[in-house]
Every structure is written in C-alpha cells, then in structure tokens.
C-alpha cells in the first residue's frame, strides 16, 4: 500500500469530520454524504501504522465532536451559569472523551486490517471489520459511564424512512453497520484499481460479494418493510392526540411568580385546539408544570381544565415520595422528574418516573462516596431515578413514556413496547439547547425509536421540536423552534412486536463481543 505524503494524510484526516458534519442533522444535513464520509479515515487506517492511525483517529474524532456538540457551551454557559472558559472546557472534555472511541477504532482497524506491515493483506478484512468495530464501540459508549450515545452515524438517515426500516431488526446499530459497510466497499473499489492487485483471490471476491449482498438485503428489506407496514398502519386503530408547545422562557420557568402564567399559557394554547371536541389526549412537555401537583393550589386549575374539556392530560411535572420519618422529625423524600397522567375527572391515573437521569444535571454521580460533591446538589438538583417501564393506560391507549433525553436510549423504548405499550410519548424540554443543531438531532434520534418498535411517537417539547411520527418514521406534523403553538393529529395504535423488541437489541452487543474475541484471538496468537 503506497504511503501518503504528509499533506495528503492531513487532508484525508480533515475530510472525514467535514463530510460527517455536513451530513448530520442540523444546519445542513446533506445525508447522502454518510455513504462516503468515513472513506478518507478508512484509507488512512489501511496505510498508516497502528499508532499513527490511532493519533489521526483521535484528532479527526475530536474535530468532528467539537462541531457536533458545540451546543454544550449554550447548555452549561447560558443556562448553567458557568463562565465562558468553563463552558468551553466542558465542550473540550466531552469531545476528547468521544474522540477516544475513534482513536481505538482506528488503532484496532489498523492492527487487524491495515497494510503497514503486510502489503498483501486482503481488503475484504477491512470491509467486514470496520462496521463490527465501529458499531461495537458505539454500543460500548451507550452504557459506559452512564452512557452518551449521541448521534451515532445511523441517525443521519432519519429523514429517509424507506432506508431505515432495518432498525426493527437490529436497532439503529444495524443502520450504522450498513453505512460503515458502504464506506468500506467504496474503499475496496478504489483499492482494486491498483495495477498490482490480485484479481485471482477467490475468497476476497466472495467476501466482497457477500458484503454487497448484505447491503442489498438491508436496504431491500427496508423498502419492502416500509411499503407493507405503511399499508397496514393506514388501516389500524387510531386516536386523536394534541401536543402543546408553550415556549416558556427557561430563565423564568422556575420563578415562583411565573407558575400561574405558565399554566395559563398551556391551558390557552390547548383550548384553542380543543374546540372541535374530538381530541382524546393532550400532551404537555417535560416539567410543563413547574410545581408539585401533590400539594400546590394550582392543581385545582389543572383539574378544572381537563374536566371542562372532557380530555385526559399527560404532562411533565416534578413529583416526590415520602420514604419515612426519623425520630427527630426529619423526613426522607425521593424527588422525581415525572410524567403525570390525569383523567377526564381530574384524578391522577398514572405516573412515570424518569429512569435515565442527566449526570450533573439531575443528580450528582458518586456523591455518596465523595461528600465534597454534595454542594453541587443544591445547584443541579437531586432527583431519584425511576425503575418501571410499564405503560400508562388510557382505555385503548397504552403509553410508553420517554422523558427528555431518554429518547436517545433505545432500551427504554424497547422495554416499554415489550411491556405492552402501543404508543410512545416523548416529553422534553429542549430549551437548554437554544437555537442550535441539538433539537434537530434530538428529533432525529426520536424517529428511530418509532421505527425500531413500530410504534407511533408523539413528541411534546417546550420550545420545539414537537410533532408526530408514524410507525415507519414519517414525521406527520412538526413545529418550528421557539414558537408557542398546539398541534393535533390522528396517530395509529400499533401492537406488532418487532424482532428488535424481542432480541434485535443485542446486535450492538454482538459486535462488541466480536471485538473482545478478536483481542483474545490476537493475544493467544501473539
């Protein structure tokens, strides 16, 4: 394999983060680039030594994640109150962490498939190994240190529902796998143009043809599945649901004097939509009610609203539970970021408690073992994680609830579907992200939760993006950012259990196990 001049190497290293940045949802979102964006990086891994591949992988990953996660500065700076230098530091630290996975990917790919020490190594090794390594490391990132699986490459195809139906086989990881395989095949096509290539290697040709066959299956299945499910969904049981986007200023949301005004905003927007009297359920966003319904006088205003309009209400609100009382009168109380279901009579019909909390946003990790972190609790909150994925029931509707960024974790939606949910509801407050790319990226990941489980998804966000997604990933209706509005739509209630719901969620875990097997095999053969 010919060595690249330093300038070419540097150019290839910069090309992948540039192409990926342009392909991902946000300001540009030109998704066709996803099929070639990783090609420059794979070419480097093919030619460079493992150590240099690792260095370039780390550097390109760092640049890409600076571009992808720039909104962190808005979250911790504008709304978290940190000075600019600390906000930038938080972005750099997170980008460094994310880029470690790119460095490991490039290192392992160079070791097992590179030609820095074996010029005759088959290109088919890289073609098949690259997607296994990439997806395996994505899966590791989804749970390591509580997990941060933000915008895996497969999510970039969210706007093309005909191409992503394979997610109901192996989750979004199956789509990421297919995209990496496409990129690897492009590298193989380029490589086989060399004058000294060995065209008579039968095994290589068979493995490359197998890769092509796999892609034909994945995208062929997606197109066929889209057509079949779309037809079936159109004949399914439907319910009319409304979402309200209050656009409440995040800086004023928790001001005690603004509570009544906040409730009035949501009630007014909802009632403008309920005049036709055909809506069954209204969804308000995460913490739309900035008070405890259990003991706040404004709870009667909410009860009056639902009874007057004869509808059910699902809204985000904080909640608490008394665990016990000490001899000295002190109480042990658990606080939850919850979704509360209120029936048409104004009574509490169910409650979901957020399971995956935001580290240093809703709880302080390891505070039990590091008491010096306790002062942080005062500023970031001290919520307790819930444990139940049981759906909230409203007659024929069984809602699997996802609060805030729980929509980026496939396992929570999958457990809800497995427990009998026939509808997914995502209540979120994306005001933290400002006018950045993050709300678009958050919406993209939510679309995949619908496709994986073949459930309609209703999304209510404080400042946007709110909307409705059908079971095959079409965004039926959606709002713009920072616009107070209310939308209503008929959504299909679907009960079909997908392969992903049963066991397809293990696809990423199998890829990670494949990495472990490779490392053990090399260790024994060393």
Using CA atoms, how far apart are residues 490 and 363, in angstroms rounded to an integer?
37
* Residues contacting 230, CB < 8 A, separation 6+: 470, 472
Judge contact between 337 and 404, C-beta under 8 A: yes
Q: Are strands 423-428 and 457-461 parallel, antiparallel or unpaired?
A: parallel
pLDDT of 205 above 90: no
Judge contact between 174 and 218, C-beta under 8 A: yes
Q: Residue 523's CB: how many other CB atoms inside 10 A? A: 8
Question: Which region, left, alpha or beta, applies to residue 23 given φ > 0 means left and ψ of -120 to 50 means alpha?
Answer: alpha
| Radius of gyration of the chain measured on its C-alpha atoms | 25
Q: What is the pLDDT of residues 363-386, one digit of tens each?
A: 766 555 555 445 444 445 678 999
Handedness of CA 163, 169, 173, 176 (dihedral sign): negative
Using CA atoms, how far apart are residues 342 and 335, in angstroms rounded to an integer?
19
pLDDT of 219 above 50: yes
- In the chain the domains, ranked by start, together with CATH numbers, are 6-50+101-232+505-525 (no CATH), 237-493 (3.60.110.10)
Point out the least confidently predicted range of 23-37, 88-102, 163-177, 192-206.
192-206
Positions marked catalytic:
286, 354, 404
pTM above 0.85, yes or no: yes
> What confidence tier does 524 reach under pLDDT thresholds 50, 70, 90?
low
Exposed, middle or buried by CB within 10 Å (0-12, 13-18, 19+), for 363?
A: buried
pLDDT at 480: 96
- DSSP helix/strand/coil, 486: strand
Over range 338-367, report the average pLDDT.
88
Tokens read off for 288: 């739309």
For the chain, counts of helices (H) and of strands (E): 16, 12
Q: Residue 192's CB: how many other CB atoms inside 10 A? A: 14
Over range 487-507, report the average pLDDT.
96
Judge contact between 340 and 314, C-beta under 8 A: yes
Q: What is the pLDDT of residues 250-261, one digit of tens each?
A: 878 878 888 999
Question: Directed axis angle between helix 410-418 and helix 438-453, to 10°?
Answer: 30
| Largest Cα–Cα separation, the chain | 85
Query: In the sheet where 485-492 sits, what is the strand order?
Result: 348-353, 331-342, 312-325, 281-283, 238-245, 485-492
Dihedrals phi, psi of 491, to nearest 5 degrees:
-125, 145
Over range 179-194, report the average pLDDT.
91
* Residues contacting 247, CB < 8 A, separation 6+: 462, 463, 464, 482, 483, 484, 485
Tokens read off for 284: 């308000």
pLDDT at 377: 44
pLDDT of 105 above 60: yes
pLDDT at 140: 98
Using CA atoms, how far apart are residues 172 and 170, in angstroms rounded to an integer?
7
DSSP state of 463: S
Q: Beta partners for 352?
A: 339
Dihedrals phi, psi of 293, to nearest 5 degrees:
-65, -25
């Amino acid at each position: 394999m010919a060595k690249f001049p330093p300038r070419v190497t540097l150019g290839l290293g910069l090309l992948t983060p540039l192409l990926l940045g342009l392909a991902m949802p946000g300001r540009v979102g030109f998704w066709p680039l996803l099929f070639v964006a990783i090609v420059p990086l794979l070419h480097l891994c093919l030619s460079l030594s493992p150590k240099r591949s690792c260095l370039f992988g780390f550097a390109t990953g760092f640049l890409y994640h600076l571009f992808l996660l720039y909104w962190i500065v808005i979250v911790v700076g504008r709304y978290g109150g940190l000075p600019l230098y600390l906000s930038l530091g938080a972005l750099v630290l997170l980008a460094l962490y994310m880029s470690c996975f790119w460095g490991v990917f490039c290192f392992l790919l160079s070791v097992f498939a590179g030609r820095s020490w074996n010029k005759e190594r088959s290109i088919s090794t890289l073609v098949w190994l690259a997607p296994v390594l990439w997806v395996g490391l994505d899966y590791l990132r989804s749970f390591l240190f509580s997990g941060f699986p933000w915008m895996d490459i497969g999510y970039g195809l969210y706007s093309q529902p005909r191409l992503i139906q394979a997610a109901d086989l192996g989750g979004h990881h199956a789509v990421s796998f297919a995209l990496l395989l496409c990129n690897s095949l492009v590298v193989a096509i380029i490589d086989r143009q060399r004058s000294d290539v060995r065209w008579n290697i039968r095994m290589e040709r068979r493995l490359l043809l197998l890769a092509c066959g796999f892609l034909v299956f994945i995208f062929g299945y997606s197109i066929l599945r889209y057509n079949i499910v779309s037809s079936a969904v159109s004949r399914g049981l439907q319910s009319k649901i409304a979402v309200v986007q209050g656009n409440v200023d995040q800086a004023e949301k928790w001001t005690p004097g603004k509570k009544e005004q906040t409730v009035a905003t949501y009630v007014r927007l909802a009632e403008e939509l309920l005049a036709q009297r055909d809506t069954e359920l209204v969804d308000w966003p995460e913490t739309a009610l900035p008070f405890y319904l259990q003991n706040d006088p404004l709870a009667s205003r909410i009860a009056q609203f639902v009874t007057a309009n004869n509808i059910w209400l699902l809204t985000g609100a904080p909640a608490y539970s008394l665990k016990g009382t000490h001899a000295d009168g002190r109480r042990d109380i658990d606080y939850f970021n919850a979704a509360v279901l209120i029936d048409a009579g104004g009574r509490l019909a169910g409650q979901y408690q957020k399971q995956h909390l935001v580290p240093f946003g809703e709880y302080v990790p390891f505070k039990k073992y590091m008491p010096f972190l306790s002062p942080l609790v005062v500023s970031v909150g001290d919520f307790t994680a819930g444990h139940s994925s049981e759906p909230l029931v409203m007659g024929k509707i069984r809602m699997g609830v996802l609060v805030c960024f729980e929509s980026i974790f496939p396992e929570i939606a999958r457990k809800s579907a497995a427990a009998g949910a026939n509808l997914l509801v995502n209540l979120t407050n994306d005001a933290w992200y400002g006018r950045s790319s993050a709300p678009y990226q958050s919406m993209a990941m939510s679309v995949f939760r619908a496709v994986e489980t073949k459930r309609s998804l209703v999304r209510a966000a404080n400042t946007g993006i709110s909307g409705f997604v059908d079971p095959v990933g079409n965004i039926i209706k959606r709002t713009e950012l920072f616009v107070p509005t209310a939308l209503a739509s008929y959504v299909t209630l679907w009960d079909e259990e997908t392969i992903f719901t049963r066991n397809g969620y293990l696809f990423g875990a199998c890829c990670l196990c494949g990495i472990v097997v490779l490392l053990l095999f090399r260790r024994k053969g060393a």
